[in-house]
Amino acid sequence: MKIIVPVKRVIDYNVKPRVKPDGSGVDLANVKMSMNPFDEIAVEEALRLREKGVATEVIAVSIGPDKAQETLRTALAMGADRAILVVAEDVEPLAVAKILAKVMDEEQPGLVILGKQAIDDDSNQTGQMLAALTGRPQGTFANTVNVSGDEVHVAREVDGGLQTVALKMPAIITTDLRLNEPRYASLPNIMKAKSKPLAQKTPADYGVDVSPRLKTLKVVEPPVRSAGIKVADVDALVAKLKEIGVAA
């Protein structure tokens, strides 16, 4: 069984984003970029399934700029078997899902494991759209994943607890934070990654139109937090909380 893991190159989670002066987006010049953390969890889960003997091949796919090659190299260095880069800039979730649907057609995977969302635009749409486009079942916000026979059981993080769903494969899974702790890319795997295949494609190869359908009106920085006040004692604290209406 093959597993496809889409990975996205995003602004590193440690970097404090700066909005461009014209409000058209976030400034990415000379900013450290990394693999979306939820996608790292997806790669890790796929590798674990391969190590258990459930899967035979893990294919990392990225739709993004040329530089997304680095992100794919990281996936290969973690242990993925091969990679596909579809070169395109600023692609919206729907177009990403359409390309992934075509990759699924070609590769016939048993599972597609995606991060639940990318930490740059927080869309949280691609997995769901891919399930809809392909007519395959989805297990979103996965906390645990177990494959048995032609089914995969996904415990989902929902309000108030976990909900376990059984999905017929091929199925789409999106990862939540607690699914696993991703491994570090190891030096021996970095060396092996050199000789692993990385295929370069374009959206046209898949016949997908990636032109944007959404229009960004403006991007602004979050409001600056105003300074707090000091209170003398607990009574003063309670009185203040009542005054501003957060305690009765």
Partner 1 sequence: MSESENIAEIRRAVQALCADFPGAYWREKDSTRAYPGEFVDALTKAGFLAALIPEVYGGSGLALSDAAIIMEEIQASGCNGASAHAQMYIMNTLLKYGSEEQKQEYLPRIATGELRLQAFGVSEPTSGTDTLSLRTVAVRDGNEYVINGQKLWTSRAEYSDLMLLLARTTPRESVTSKTEGLSVFLIDMRKVVGNGMTIKPIRTMMNHSTTEIFFDDMRIPASALVGEEGKGFRYILSGMNAERILIAAECIGDAKWFIKKASDYASERNVFGRAIGQNQGVQFPIARCYAQMCAAELMVHHAARVFDTGGNPGAEANMAKLLASEASWAAADMCVQTHGGFGFAEEYDVERKFREARLYTVAPISTNLILSYLAEHVLGLPRSY
Instruction: Considering only CA atoms, give the Rg of the chain.
Output: 21
**117 near partner 1 (CB under 8 A):** no
- Which one of 68-76, 130-138, 201-209, 231-239 is the stretch in contact with partner 1 (CB under 8 A)? 68-76
How many other C-beta atoms are found inside a 10 Å radius of the C-beta of residue 163?
14
Specify the residue, 13 or 216, whose C-beta has the smaller distance to partner 1: 13
**194 near partner 1 (CB under 8 A):** yes
Q: How far is the CB of 196 from partner 1 (least distance, A)?
A: 12
**185 near partner 1 (CB under 8 A):** yes
Q: Are 44 and 5 in contact (CB under 8 A)?
A: no
Q: How far is the CB of 77 from partner 1 (least distance, A)?
A: 6
Q: How far is the CB of 14 from partner 1 (least distance, A)?
A: 7
Residues 2-41 that bind partner 1 (CB under 8 A): 14, 34
Amino acid at 156: R
Q: Are 167 and 152 in contact (CB under 8 A)?
A: yes
**65 near partner 1 (CB under 8 A):** no
**193 near partner 1 (CB under 8 A):** yes
Tokens 């599972």: give the residue. 111
**74 near partner 1 (CB under 8 A):** yes
By CB under 8 A, how many residues form the interface with partner 1? 17
